[in-house]
Amino acid sequence: MVVFILENARPALRGELSRWLFEVQAGVFTGRVSALVRQELWQMVEKKLGKGSAVMIYSANNEQGFKAQMLGNPSRSLVDIEGLLLVKT
């Protein structure tokens, strides 16, 4: 399972992601893709994001059951404290 959250993203980027994932709310995409496709989508987001921000959350075999990556300047940030991801506002 993967979730992408985009803020201030171009409509073209949202359209590209909607080819692979389901847009459950404006700028929030989810779906189930392979690790290779997930990384390719993230690389596309890196190239086409512009001045917006993005968060990718995906399933992982750890205590929380997920990992996350961020780009740009999102309204919240993730902090790793002793292996646990926490949200900082």
pLDDT the model gives residue 37: 97
Q: State the DSSP code for 51.
A: T
Kindly provide the residue ranges of all beta strands, DSSP E only, lying in the chain, ordered along the sequence: 2-7, 22-25, 28-31, 53-59, 66-71, 77-81, 84-88
**What token pair was written down for 54?**
């993005």
The dihedrals phi and psi of 40, each to the nearest 5 degrees, come to: -65, -40
Q: Is the pLDDT of residue 75 over 80?
A: no
Domain boundaries, the chain: 2-88
pLDDT the model gives residue 89: 83
Name, in order, each residue with C-beta under 8 angstroms of 86's C-beta and a sequence gap of 6 or more: 78, 79, 80
User: Where does the pLDDT of residue 2 fall: very low under 50, low under 70, confident under 90, or very high at 90 and above?
Assistant: very high
Rg (CA), the chain: 13
- The topology under which CATH files domain 2-88 is Alpha-Beta Plaits (3.30.70)
